Amino acid sequence: MDSKSLAYLSNNFIYSALAVFAIAFLLHAVETAWSVKSGEKRELDRSRTEKLARSATGLIILGNLIVAAALITRGASASRIPVANMYEFSITGAFIFTTAYLIALKKYNLRWLGILVAGLTLLTLGTAITLLYVESAPLVPALKSPWLLIHVATAIISGGIFLLANSLAAAFLVLEKMERNGVRSSWAHRLPSLDALDQLTYRLIALVFPIWTFSIIAGAIWAEAAWGRYWGWDPKETWAFITWVAYAAYLHARVTAGWKGRKAAWLCLIAGSTFLFNYVYVNIWGTGKHTYSGL
Amino acid sequence: MNGKQREKIEKDRTKSLKELGGFSLWRYLWRLLTSMRTALILLMLVGVASIPGSIIPQRSQNPFEVSDFFDRNPAISPWLDRFYFFDVFGSPWFSSIYVLLFISLIGCVIPRLNEYLRAIFEKPSPPPQSLQLMKGFQSFDSDSIGADKVLILSWLKKKGFRTAEFDGSITAEKGYLKESGNLIFHFAMIFILIGIAVSSIFGMRGDSIVNVGERFQNTPTSYDSMIPGRFYSVESLQPFQIKVDSFLAEYDPLTNQALNYELEVRVREELDSSEEEKVVRVNEPLTFGATRVFLQATGYSPQVTVRDGAGEVTFKGAVAFLPQDPNLTSAGAIKVPDMEPPIGFVGSFIPTAARDEVRGAFSSYPEVLDPRLLLAVWQGDLGMDDGKPQSIYRLDIENMERIGLKALRLGESYDFKVGSITFDGYLPWVNLQIIHDPGKKIALFGGLFALIGALGMLFIHRRRIWIRFSEENSVQLIDVAGFSSSNEELLLRELREFQEFLTLKKGES
């Protein structure tokens, strides 16, 4: 197959994945609604929705495999790894995010998070193919380096895990508010305890912090080779640094100041929003040397 | 050190502040600066302070955008400038946060290093009085347990615990490397800051445009621009030589995007050393010790011959023009002071000529396929004698008069009455960026150690297991409990393992 038809095939994979994730999202929504038994006691009956939840997870796995196929064909169409522009970064990021969720699902009871995961993946892929899409093309000379894989791949992995940690922190805040005003709504009964959410968020941040640090260092080494300086306060670098500082503050606050729960969750969300800002604002409207979005 | 202990130290600190006499103001300030809270606040401040630098254009990155910003916001720009908002990362306020953070970090880390060195040689401390209140407390009587003190100790040692025996009790502790990681991480941060400082104080960066076929000699006069650090001495320029043999640029015919740049050079490290052939690419610079030479940009130098009215050659050579767009439409100036009166040309070099209603003549492809040299001829005072520095790419037309306008194809000449100009050819040029950066290795090692430290500090967990032997109504009792500030789950798992070991021993015996 030539490069055009491979890129075309990749796009079709993305459209298919969108459909699969949309169905997974719907199944999860139905499952969440149905698990609440009507009547006086408003108890949860998970037995009748177990099958639905399992098939939703199955669809997320399927969707993720299709996204993987899209990544492989997209990469093959330009003979390189598919992380050279914002479109490719977004679909790779969505893949990592969903994969991180599926791995975590094996260890923790996180099926309840599926609705959020399916929704966010749907949103990311949809934004990518409609707003961020650019034609598949070879690399510009500055990007021709083995560091592209190392630097960008670790940045994407970080992004995926940041997103997962922030989903948990957001869930924590919603549930915490609910509990402060009384009891949890019935749909939220099956969600983990606040303490478990808080712990898991912290674990994820502790896991991702060294990866993010590595990504920044790898970027600095690459920048030295390509642009002659390892750090230049380019807008993207500046915001990567701000995200790093914010998560460093989160870890300090957790470990040494003993901040847990609400304050820590807010800090996590603030730090996460600096990552998002970097991704959206600096790529599309910003200036500097990191503007590869092609938009 | 756990959170509570640290909190106590912080409290002791602030408490003792009040007891200090007047002369200890400096000590008060020192303690205030080096407290954990201040360090954290400073860390956050560095983050917040760098935000304007990413939103407002910066002189160090893009001076043209700064002047553009001035034009668009004439009211507020001078005020922003007064507070260094166009040079955020070199501003006094940013530097002072940076320096304070640096001092605070040292003040934070050194006492912790002392404490750590002491703790590492000390035995673990005895268990607390009431084990019942601690995590994972369990009590066993001797009937259910086969293991004695010796077996317990050897089991703990095998699991990597450091143990200390007391009268009727044992403390076992593990995960000392967490604090090592923590200290390595913070010292590495100091090293990164030192590396950055060394780079900017002792470093240098400069640019030189070199035509293909020409030679670059690393002396101050070869540079088009040079920004030395405060303590950089021009005498320390290494005497290397770079002869630019050929330059290859490939472009994608569909998107016009650059695909590959390859620069072939012959290099001499010293004036009398032998020549070596090398290839420079965008990600593969030339290295001379701590100095590296980067391929940064490319463009074209049209070659012209200028003659006066009598047909005598007054100028012959290649003049570098600056690219104006991705297709390398280039603009520049040719100055001929040796004519009477002096002549200047404002020119555009178009590698592949195209034309439309809106833009007039422009380049449709960055490679030279159908070149044009557009010239405006000016006559009068070039303004080169009054000592004012002048751009070589611009003609100061204030005291000049335009006497002609012409588009030339390759090889064509234009006769403008008082003289003529011939478009002989063109040479590609490359912009060599020469950077001397002695601090980058320090920063790199700082970065790598920061990573190692972060892994230790986040993935190793300090935990203690306490064991107390006692006797009640002539029944031997063993109480077990533990503590971990960072990972209770892990502690409880280990306590469970320990309990299994205790009961298993019983089963075996």
Please provide residue B123's backbone torsions phi and psi, each rounded to the nearest 5 degrees: -75, 155
Residues of B in contact with A286 (CB under 8 A): 54
Please provide residue A294's backbone torsions phi and psi, each rounded to the nearest 5 degrees: 75, 20
CA angle B183, B186, B191 (to 5 degrees): 120
Q: How far apart are the first and last CA of chain A?
A: 27
Q: Is residue B118 classed as helix, strand or coil in its secondary structure? A: helix
C-alpha torsion sign, points A62, A67, A69, A72: negative
Name, in order, each residue with C-beta under 8 angstroms of A120's C-beta and a sequence gap of 6 or more.
Answer: A97, A163, A167
- Rounded to whole angstroms, how far apart are CA atoms A59 and A48? 19
Residues of B in contact with A147 (CB under 8 A): 283
Decide if A180 contacts A172 (C-beta within 8 A).
Answer: no
- Rounded to whole angstroms, how far apart are CA atoms B365 and B354? 9
Closest chain B residue to the Cα of A243, Cα to Cα: B47
Going by pLDDT thresholds of 50, 70 and 90, the confidence category of residue A293 is low
Residues in chain B: 509
Residue A64 has pLDDT above 90, yes or no: yes
Angstrom CA distances, B180 to B186, B455, B456, stand at 10, 11, 7
Digit-coded pLDDT (tens) for A142-194? 788 888 889 988 998 999 899 999 999 999 999 999 888 887 777 777 788 88
CB contact under 8 A, A245 and B46: yes
DSSP assignments along B235-299, one per residue: GG----EEEEEEEEEEE-TTT--EEEEEEEEEEESSTTSPPEEEEEBTTB-EEETTEEEEEEEEE
Residues of A in contact with B43 (CB under 8 A): 245, 248-249, 252
Return the residue in A231, A244, A289 with the most chain B beta carbons within 10 A, the one to mutate for interface testing.
A231
Indicate the fold that domain A1-138 takes in CATH: Four Helix Bundle (Hemerythrin (Met), subunit A) (1.20.120)
Name, in order, each residue with C-beta under 8 angstroms of A21's C-beta and a sequence gap of 6 or more.
Answer: A59, A60, A63, A118, A121, A122, A125
CB contact under 8 A, B51 and A214: no
What's the farthest any 2 CA atoms get from each other in chain B? 127
CB contact under 8 A, B61 and A234: yes
At A62 the pLDDT is 96
Q: Mean per-residue pLDDT for A62-72? A: 95
- Rounded to whole angstroms, how far apart are CA atoms B47 and B53? 11
Going by pLDDT thresholds of 50, 70 and 90, the confidence category of residue A3 is confident
Residues of A in contact with B251 (CB under 8 A): none
CA angle B227, B229, B232 (to 5 degrees): 105
Digit-coded pLDDT (tens) for A80-123? 888 888 899 899 999 999 999 999 888 888 888 888 899 999 99
Q: Which tokens in the block code for residue A117?
A: 């995961």
Name, in order, each residue with C-beta under 8 angstroms of B407's C-beta and a sequence gap of 6 or more.
Answer: B361, B372, B373, B374, B375
CB contact under 8 A, A209 and B448: no
CB contact under 8 A, B437 and A232: no
Digit-coded pLDDT (tens) for B137-165? 888 887 777 677 888 888 899 989 999 98
Digit-coded pLDDT (tens) for A218-272? 999 999 988 888 988 888 999 999 999 999 999 988 877 677 888 999 999 999 9
Digit-coded pLDDT (tens) for B181-204? 999 999 999 999 899 889 888 999
Going by pLDDT thresholds of 50, 70 and 90, the confidence category of residue B167 is confident
- Rounded to whole angstroms, how far apart are CA atoms B105 and B223? 40
Residues of B in contact with A252 (CB under 8 A): 36, 40, 43
Digit-coded pLDDT (tens) for B67-105? 888 999 999 999 999 999 998 988 899 989 989 988 998
C-alpha torsion sign, points A142, A147, A150, A151: negative
Q: Which of B60, B260, B458 sits opposite A210 (nearest CB)?
A: B458
Return the residue in A224, A236, A244, A270 with the most chain B beta carbons within 10 A, the one to mutate for interface testing.
A224
- Rounded to whole angstroms, how far apart are CA atoms B112 and A198? 28
Question: Where are the domains positioned within chain A?
Answer: 1-138, 142-295
Residue A158: in which H helix or E strand, if any?
helix A153-180
Q: Which of B33-47, B232-246, B396-410 has the lowest mean pLDDT?
A: B33-47
Q: Side by side, which strands form the sheet with B258-268? A: B215-217, B241-251, B258-268, B276-280
Going by pLDDT thresholds of 50, 70 and 90, the confidence category of residue B262 is very high
CB contact under 8 A, B54 and A140: no
- What ipTM describes this predicted complex? 0.81
Residue B414 has pLDDT above 60, yes or no: yes
Predicted TM-score (pTM) of this structure: 0.82
Please provide residue B218's backbone torsions phi and psi, each rounded to the nearest 5 degrees: -80, 75
Q: Which of B37, B89, B443 sits opposite A233 (nearest CB)?
A: B89
Q: Check if B282 contacts A (Cβ < 8 Å).
A: yes
Decide if B344 contacts B357 (C-beta within 8 A).
Answer: no
CB contact under 8 A, B53 and A238: yes
CB contact under 8 A, A288 and B61: yes
Residue B5 has pLDDT above 60, yes or no: no
- Rounded to whole angstroms, how far apart are CA atoms B203 and B228? 6
Q: Mean per-residue pLDDT for A55-64? A: 94
DSSP assignments along B446-480, one per residue: HHHHHHHHHHHHHH---EEEEEEEEEETTEEEEEE
Digit-coded pLDDT (tens) for B292-336? 999 988 999 999 999 998 889 999 999 999 998 889 999 999 999
CB contact under 8 A, B258 and A145: no
- Those of residues 72-101 in B touching chain A at CB distance below 8 A are 88-89
CB contact under 8 A, A138 and B62: no
Q: Check if B279 contacts A (Cβ < 8 Å).
A: no
Classify residue B227 by its DSSP letter.
Answer: E
- Rounded to whole angstroms, how far apart are CA atoms A157 and B487? 24
Residues of B in contact with A3 (CB under 8 A): none
- Rounded to whole angstroms, how far apart are CA atoms A77 and A9? 10
Give percent of chain B with pLDDT exceeding 90: 43
What's the farthest any 2 CA atoms get from each other in chain A? 70
B264: closest CA among B249, B246, B290?
B246
Residues of B in contact with A217 (CB under 8 A): 447-448, 450-451
At B509 the pLDDT is 44
Average pLDDT along chain B: 87
Decide if B396 contacts B388 (C-beta within 8 A).
Answer: no
Residue B1 has pLDDT above 50, yes or no: no
Residues of B in contact with A108 (CB under 8 A): none
- Rounded to whole angstroms, how far apart are CA atoms B82 and B484? 52
Size of interface A-B (CB pairs under 8 A): 130
Calculate the CA B86 to chain-centre distance: 19
Q: Mean per-residue pLDDT for A31-53? A: 67
Decide if B375 contacts B408 (C-beta within 8 A).
Answer: yes
Residue B170 has pLDDT above 80, yes or no: yes
Closest chain B residue to the Cα of A137, Cα to Cα: B255
Return the residue in B10, B51, B54, B196 with the most chain A beta carbons within 10 A, the one to mutate for interface testing.
B54
CB contact under 8 A, A142 and B283: yes
